[in-house]
């Protein structure tokens, strides 16, 4: 677990080292992440615009963007399971010129580490329960549909519903579905 924590911290260090050189605005998304509706957690991420198709004539009033969004999520099913998800979303969003509202569709490709409590033993003298744990490493592709409202100055919001699967070798695959709602924060850099 310590090695995993070191890798996540290293990933976040490189991500936030690269962000200040990217542009004058740093987009940050912080959300409530709820797989299956009964598990709960949080997600943090950012987005980079890879391709932008702006309006090029008077009769076209829609902008289209293809963005890449690295993300990190942590969610739990209390007393049963803890999960860490390292995810990359590939977003396509379309937006009417002058509007803050936008629909979006994304494909997510993630890697999830699940720490599950298995059977346990009870110490008859103290009543203390000791659980055996199992760590699963899973590939998690998802499809996400949702909408968002761009920040007017610094703050906007978004909502996404997702469906996908947890794929693991030598184990039965499971569906993964749920919803995510959060804030879209824009941190503007000041010129020094």
Residue 19 in this model has a pLDDT that exceeds 60 = no
Q: What is the dihedral of CA 164, 169, 172, 174, to 10 degrees?
A: -20
Residue 16 in this model has a pLDDT that exceeds 60 = no
pLDDT number for residue 157? 93
pLDDT number for residue 62? 80
pLDDT number for residue 17? 56
Instruction: Look at 69-78, 118-127, 148-157 and tell me which has the smallest mean pLDDT.
Output: 118-127
Please state the rounded mean pLDDT for residues 28-52: 89
pLDDT number for residue 107? 95
Alpha-carbon distance values, 59 to 54, 62, 96 (Å): 12, 9, 12
| DSSP conformation class of 190 | P
Please state the rounded mean pLDDT for residues 160-164: 94
* Helix extents (H) in the chain: 2-22
Tell me what the pLDDT averaged over the chain comes to.
81
pLDDT number for residue 73? 93
Provide the whole-model pTM.
0.77
């Amino acid at each position: 677990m310590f090695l995993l924590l070191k890798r996540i911290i290293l990933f976040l260090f490189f991500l936030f080292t690269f962000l200040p050189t990217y542009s004058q605005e740093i987009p940050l998304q912080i959300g409530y992440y709820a797989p299956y509706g009964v598990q709960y957690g949080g997600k943090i991420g950012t987005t980079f615009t890879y391709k932008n198709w702006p309006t090029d004539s008077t009769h076209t009033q829609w902008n289209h963007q293809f963005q890449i969004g690295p993300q990190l999520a942590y969610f739990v099913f209390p007393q049963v399971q803890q999960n860490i998800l390292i995810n990359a979303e590939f977003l396509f969003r379309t937006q009417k010129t002058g509007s803050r509202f936008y629909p979006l569709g994304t494909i997510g490709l993630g890697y999830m580490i699940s720490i599950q409590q298995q059977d346990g033993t009870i110490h008859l003298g103290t009543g203390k329960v000791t659980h055996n744990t199992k760590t699963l490493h899973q590939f998690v592709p998802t499809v996400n549909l949702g909408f968002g409202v761009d920040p007017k100055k610094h703050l906007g919001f978004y909502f996404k519903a997702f469906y996908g699967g947890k794929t693991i070798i030598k184990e039965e695959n499971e569906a993964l579905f749920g919803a995510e709602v959060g804030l879209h924060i824009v941190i503007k850099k000041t010129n020094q």
